[in-house]
Every structure is written in C-alpha cells, then in structure tokens.
C-alpha cells in the first residue's frame, strides 16, 4: 500500500516515466540475454564477432551518455526520450531481420545510441518534475526498473522457444508503443535558456571537483551492482550445477526490491542525511560479498545459501544508496545542465563499472575463488569510507 500511495502522489509525467522504465527494461531484457546465443547459433558468428557486436552496443551507449544528457538540456527531455524509444524500436526491429554481420552491427549501434539518449533524459525529466520528492521518485524508478528486468527474461524465454526474431520484433513493438504513449501523454518541458555553450557546459561539469569526487566515491555502486549479472549467477550455478540457480538469484533481488525499496528510502530520509544514506548503502554493498567468503565453495549447499544472502544484501545496498545518489546529481547541477551532469555521471560510472567488472573476472580466473569476493567487499567498504569524507567537498556540503 505504501508503494501505491507513493506512486499515486507523483505527478502524471513522473508516473508515465516510471511505467515507461518498466517497459524499457521489459523490452531490453526480452532480447539482450538471448542475443549472444542467437548470434552464435542462428547467425553463425564466431565468438570474436559476437564479442564485437555486443561490445559495439555497450560502447555506443556508454560513450554517448554525455551527448544524450546535453541534448536533453538543449532540446528538452521529452523529445529526446521519444527519439530514444523510436531508435530502440528500430534497432531491435533490425535484430529481427536476416542476421548478417552488417545488419547486426547497425542494430547494435542504433540500440546503444537509443539508450544513450533516453537514459539521462528520463532522469533529468524525473528530477525536474518531482520537485522536492526526488528521492521518493527515484526509489520508485528503481522498483519499476527492477520489475521490468525480472519480467523481461521470462517473456523473452517464452518467445525464444518460437524464434529469437519473434522476441526481437515484440520488443521493438514495445518500444514503439512507449514512444507513442509519450508523444500523446507526456507533457512538454521547455529546455532552460542556455547560460553557456555546449562545450562550456561540459567544461563546467568536468571542472566541478566536488561533483567529480562524488562521482568517483559512488561509482562502485554500479561496478558492484553489475556483479548481480556476473559473479553471483556464476557462483550459484557452480554451487548447484543447475541453471535454475540464476533465476533464484534474480528472484531474491527482485523480491527484496519490490518489498523494501520505498520503505528503505522513507527510513533513510527520516533518520539520515543523504550522504549518510549513500555511505550506508555502499557499506551494505561491500558487506554483501562477505557471506560467500565465510561459507566457501567447498560446502556447495551453504555456499549457494550465502550467494542468495549476497543477492539480498546487494539489492538492499542499491535501494539504500541509489535514490539519494540520483537526487544529489540533480541538486548539484547548475540550472540548465541537469542532463549534462547525468551524462557525465553515467559516462564516468560506466567506465569504472566496466573496468571493475573486468578486474573481478580477471581475479576470479587467476586467483582463488574467494579473492574476487574479497576484492568486491574491499571496493564497497572503501567507497563507503570515501563517500563519508566527501561532505567536505562542495558537492555534498550543502546536502549534509
């Protein structure tokens, strides 16, 4: 009931964008988890070519977040969001065509550019439209996003039984429907008058030492959240010997988010400053990787239980920190540069997450299995300590 009341209290535009995010993740996860297998089996690509196609999509999105955020500031977020959904519909529609390498590369690039457009624009719109209820709006945003992430693979697995291209076509239709809904219902928000040039806005963001310190202090949030797709599922499957263990990991994460997200944000907002809530969330992220060290892989049943505890703690850490992180990015941005600041934040965080995920995988390959868990725990706890110090910088001093 608390979640429903919180949702109903948000402005119409925010409610639409929350449903939109559920649809975005639903369509995305209907296709992406099954794309690699489709490329290798149906398209007959080598593993190297598969890696290129997947890497191009990720690079197109992560590398262009700044462009998408700037476009949101200059053109207004509504048009950028609609354009992003239309491009994603086109990109996923191309995945449903005859799978040749040029078509697949074009589909990956278009899909990545689409994400780079609507991701910062949606957050900028929500930050502006929700007023002084940003943290609550972003808590709901995380809840709706996780719901879509959970439903997407379930729907996609059913459609893949027919044909991967059917799933891609349905996902494209989902994105086209989202674009139409926003074109009809989402209110226009005029872009703020530009106080500087595009390059001037970028210089402002990259010269903001307090903002950069805050970004680096909290980037571990995304690097450790990514382990929900790498380290935890791998450990769960190794411990049980069955693929259903992956569903159990995602199920534990989703149940925790659906049941606790709004309550966790309310609890933190009533008792903690925003920097303290972020520090607590990062500390929980670090602590999430301790149980599998204490219950090692030599005891498979206990190790699997420890991995599920990790998934729960990881989700609680994310739901504790993330709404306040997104709120502070918006509050830090000068007038007219909210999208730019989100673009810079996600660009830098994406780089850190990519490097961190690669490093964890390398440690897992070269060292004992517990070493990768320990590395993640140290990263989370160190980030929590760093975040606790950042109120001394301008980025968090006012928020404290």
C-alpha torsion sign, points 167, 236, 258, 57: negative
Alpha carbon distance 293, 44 (integer Å): 40
Q: Given a cut of 80, is residue 212 above it in pLDDT?
A: yes
The reported pLDDT for the residue numbered 400 is: 44
Q: Which of 261, 209, 134 is nearest to 396 (CA)?
A: 209
Q: Which of 114, 126, 103, 120 is nearest to 49 (CA)?
A: 103
190-209: pLDDT as tens digits: 666 666 778 888 899 898 98
Q: 18 falls in which pLDDT band (50, 70, 90)?
A: very high
Q: 66 falls in which pLDDT band (50, 70, 90)?
A: confident
Radius of gyration of the chain (CA): 20
247-299: pLDDT as tens digits: 788 788 888 888 888 888 889 888 888 888 999 999 999 999 999 988 877 88
The reported pLDDT for the residue numbered 146 is: 84
pTM assigned to the model: 0.79
Report the helix count and the strand count for the chain, using DSSP H and E: 19, 0
**Phi, psi dihedral angles at 318 (to 5 degrees):** -65, -45
Most confident residue range from 42-51, 67-76, 129-138, 308-317: 308-317
86-99: pLDDT as tens digits: 999 999 998 888 77
Share of the chain above pLDDT 90, in %: 20
The reported pLDDT for the residue numbered 314 is: 92
Exposure class string for 355-372: b at 16+ Cβ within 10 A, else e: ebbeebeebbeeeebeeb
Q: 174 falls in which pLDDT band (50, 70, 90)?
A: very high
Rounded to 5°, the CA angle 341-344-349 comes to: 125
241 vs 56 pLDDT, higher one: 241
Q: Given a cut of 50, is residue 396 above it in pLDDT?
A: no
107-139: pLDDT as tens digits: 888 988 898 898 889 998 998 888 878 888 999
Distance spanning both ends of the chain, measured CA to CA? 30
> Up-side HSE of residue 230: CA atoms within 13 Å toward CB?
22
Alpha carbon distance 29, 72 (integer Å): 25
- Output the CA torsion 243→244→246→250 (10° steps): 160
Q: Given a cut of 80, is residue 36 above it in pLDDT?
A: no
Least confident stretch, 103-117, 149-163, 174-188: 149-163
Output the average pLDDT for the chain. 83
Q: Given a cut of 70, is residue 175 above it in pLDDT?
A: yes
């Amino acid at each position: 009931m608390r979640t429903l009341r919180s949702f109903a209290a948000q402005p119409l535009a925010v409610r639409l964008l929350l449903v939109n995010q559920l649809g975005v993740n639903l369509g995305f996860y209907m296709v992406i988890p099954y794309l690699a297998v489709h490329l290798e089996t149906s398209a007959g690509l080598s593993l190297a070519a598969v890696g290129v196609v997947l890497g191009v999509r990720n690079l197109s999105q992560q590398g262009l977040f700044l462009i998408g955020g700037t476009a949101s500031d200059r053109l207004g977020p509504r048009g950028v969001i609609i354009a992003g959904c239309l491009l994603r519909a086109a990109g996923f529609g191309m995945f449903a065509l005859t799978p040749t390498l040029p078509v697949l590369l074009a589909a990956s690039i278009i899909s990545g550019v689409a994400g780079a457009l609507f991701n910062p624009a949606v957050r900028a719109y929500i930050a502006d439209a929700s007023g002084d209820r940003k943290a609550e709006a972003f808590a709901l945003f995380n809840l709706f996003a996780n719901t879509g992430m959970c439903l997407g693979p379930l729907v996609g697995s059913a459609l893949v039984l027919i044909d991967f291209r059917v799933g891609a076509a349905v996902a494209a239709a989902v994105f086209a429907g989202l674009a139409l809904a926003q074109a009809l219902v989402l209110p226009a928000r005029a872009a703020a008058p530009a106080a500087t040039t595009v390059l001037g806005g970028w210089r402002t963001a990259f010269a903001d030492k307090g903002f950069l310190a805050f970004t680096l202090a909290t980037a571990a949030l995304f690097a450790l959240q990514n382990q929900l797709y790498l380290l935890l599922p791998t450990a769960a499957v190794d411990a049980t010997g069955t693929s259903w263990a992956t569903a159990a990991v995602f199920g534990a994460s989703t149940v925790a988010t659906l049941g606790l997200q709004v309550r966790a944000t309310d609890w933190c907002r009533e008792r903690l400053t925003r920097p303290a809530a972020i520090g607590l969330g990062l500390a929980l992220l670090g602590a999430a990787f301790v149980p599998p060290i204490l219950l090692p892989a030599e005891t498979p049943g206990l190790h699997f239980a420890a991995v599920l505890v990790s998934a729960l703690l990881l989700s609680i850490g994310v739901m504790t920190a993330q709404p306040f992180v997104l709120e502070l990015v918006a509050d830090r941005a000068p007038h007219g540069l909210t999208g730019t600041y989100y673009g810079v934040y996600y660009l830098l965080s994406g780089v850190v997450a990519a490097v961190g995920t690669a490093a964890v995988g390398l440690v897992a390959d070269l060292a004992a299995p517990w070493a990768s868990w320990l590395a993640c725990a140290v990263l989370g706890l160190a980030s929590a300590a760093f975040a606790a110090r950042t109120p001394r910088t301008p980025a968090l001093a006012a928020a404290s």
